[in-house]
Chains A and B, each alone.
Chain A
Amino acid sequence: MTSTDAFIAIREVEKFYGSFQAIANVSMDIRHGEFFSLLGASGCGKTTLLRMLAGFESASSGEICIDGQPMSEVPPYLRPVNMVFQNYAIFPHLNVRDNIAYGLRRLRLPRSKRHEMVEEILDLVKLPGYGDRRANELSGGQRQRVALARALILRPKVLLLDEPLGALDKQLREQMQVELRRLQRSVGITFVFVTHDQEEALTLSDRIAVMAGGRVLQVDTPSRLYEAPRSREVANFIGTMNFLGARVVSRANGHLRLDIEALGQLDLPAGGTPLSEGDRTCVAIRPEKITLHKDRPGGDAPALSGTLEMTTYLGERSHFHVRVPGCDNSFSVSAQNNTIQGGEGQASGRPVWLTWRDDALFVLGKD
């Protein structure tokens, strides 16, 4: 990444509330025009980081630059960013039109021009003709659109969204996800989106920063986060993952020789991991990359044998829990139902074998 990529540059930012550290030494770059998500469990500091971008909280140390401008001295009302609040914060004493036109005061436009802009943006968020409604006459989804319109009409360089879909029901949420994505593409504004819902983050984002305990664990595209998480925390947070404890035996020309529990010695690509001889680590594999066999498979590919503990039927898929001797946790295996035979074949207690393609197993960073 070159420095011109850094539309928003966050440099060694820390935030303390009293002696409590809410943000611990975060550095990252957000590119121009990208849909960027902050993903993490509740309380991990997502809102705090977003509020520092908006200017409602100041960093205890470190620097935030937006479009090359250092932000530390810029008050929130002069920053080129706008925010969609978690509870939408629609002004109850104003109607929809005045809510949306609220930020236009500074532009000193004639009334007719203001109205024209409001109508235009109402069309964009699919609320035409709602200008005269009061805030309390709107549904949750409509309030959300008003909050979006109110921020977008100012054409900010960055739009900040704090769990904007959290209060909506599932169906509406999925519909709004599609619309958010469409909107972001059509206006070309950089979105920084906070969510604790990994599926939502994967669906919407160009890139995601996974956070935990005030730290950023990994910044990557959705597919890289899923396919190549760099730590056990990230792997656990995004989807389901099976882990096997391992110890590095040796490291040579980009490959690690590992001693893996239940599997024995195996060579794997080292990737970017800083592992060296003697380190304890983990190897990981996704449930859907494992093939379940009722009979011992032929060939010399690595295979684990175990007993089927439980089967969960999920319609299009089935989930299997397999206990493998020598492993602490049982294995999760997921399979499309059109690739397996259903029925009594999956009775619990029966012996099964697990295999996978060579590149499905990968090594994580240091524990």
Chain B
Amino acid sequence: MIDAPLTGTRPAVVQERRPGRLAGLFHRSESLRGYTMLSPTMLVMAVGILAPFIILLAMSFWTRQGFEFDTTPTFANYARAMSEPIFGAFLARSFWVSGIATVATVLLCYPMAYYVAFHVHRNKMLWIVLMTLPFWTSYLLRVFAWKVILGYEGVINSALLSMGLIDAPLEFLLYSQTAVIITLAHAWAAFAILPLYVSLEKIDRSLLEAATDLGDGPAWRFLRVTLPLSMPGVIAAVFLIFIPTTGDFITPALLGGPDGAMIGNLIQLQFGAVNNWPMGAALSIVLMLWIATVALVFLLVTRKAQERLA
């Protein structure tokens, strides 16, 4: 009695197990499975990045007509961006400020990452977490903190005043390019430490010993082995900091003052007070192209330098 239904269903079960043609393809094709796994991400990327970008690109060829847009395509905005020197000047200043901030950040973070990677043997993760601790607070909060430190009556000035080292507050500290550079360098440090640490940590210790064995003292060894092998981390850190800081507008707006303003502030103005969205869009596209160019040049230069050192 019990046997009968069991034997009856068995062939059906076997047939169900046999995979369909589509499922078979799915199981066999590695790339198909990969795309399926990626698809949610790709969807978000398409909707969240590609769509706004296309809108931005399209809008950059429009013009403003009072409070309306004239949608006939034209290069007028780009022509203006190239002919009026203020745009070029702001762009150059942005690259300058964020370039300095990037170099400063990487230079300051490299020794920290190096120390944790090579000289800390226990609780490395704890060190990394401690180093990134300041970045758990909001960006805005950190910018304001720097305002408190650098201000006329801020920590540095009042300390120097009370010690009698200066007679009047140092003005270059706040509302200047210096203030922007210091703040950017600090605000983005975590983005340098992590990739630098990962690339340094990965370096096989026996390679360093081999370099030593072949006659290189610590300095040469660093230049010929450690630095080249940590280059992926350096490049990642440079991109991760340079690209977003070039377009940053919060820090220059709050700490930059008149000669600390950057291209991001100008773009923000176009979308805000000036209310010329197509011009803002064109400026954004120009900024993007310039960043891409600078990044490419940087990549080529580092590759050449690496070949030269070898």
Contact = CB atoms under 8 A, between A and B. Distances in A.
B310 interface: yes
A102 interface: yes
Interface string B199-220: 0000010110111111111001
SS class of chain B's interface: helix, strand, loop or mixed? helix
SS class of chain A's interface: helix, strand, loop or mixed? mixed
Interface residues of A, number: 25
A94 B213 contact: no
B206 A98 contact: no
B204 A89 contact: yes
B229 A92 contact: yes
Nearest to B206: A89
B215 A89 contact: no
B235 interface: no
A154 B206 contact: no
B206 A93 contact: no
Contacts of B217: 75, 77
Interface residues of B, number: 20
A89 B221 CA distance: 14
B195 to A, nearest CB: 17
B104 interface: no
A77 B213 contact: yes
A310 B221 CA distance: 60
Given A87-B206, A98-B310, A93 B229 contact: yes
Contact of B210 (A78, A91, A98, A154): A91
Contacts of A16: none
B295 interface: no
B306 interface: yes
A83 B212 CA distance: 10
A75 B261 CA distance: 53
B199 to A, nearest CB: 12
B225 interface: yes
B228 interface: yes
A105 interface: yes
Q: Which 5 A-B pairs have the closest CB atoms?
A: A103-B214, A89-B210, A89-B206, A83-B213, A106-B215
Interface of B: 204, 206-207, 209-217, 220-221, 224-225, 228-229, 306, 310
Interface of A: 54, 56, 75-78, 81-83, 85-87, 89, 91-94, 98, 102-103, 105-106, 150-151, 154
30 contacts: A54-B213, A56-B209, A56-B213, A75-B212, A75-B217, A76-B209, A77-B212, A77-B215, A77-B216, A77-B221, A81-B213, A83-B209, A83-B210, A83-B213, A85-B209, A87-B204, A89-B207, A91-B211, A92-B207, A93-B228, A93-B310, A94-B310, A102-B211, A102-B224, A103-B214, A103-B215, A105-B215, A105-B216, A105-B220, A151-B214
Given A86-B206, A105-B224, 19 more contacts: A56-B212, A56-B213, A77-B212, A77-B213, A77-B215, A78-B215, A81-B213, A83-B209, A83-B210, A91-B211, A91-B225, A93-B229, A93-B306, A93-B310, A94-B310, A98-B310, A105-B216, A151-B214, A154-B215
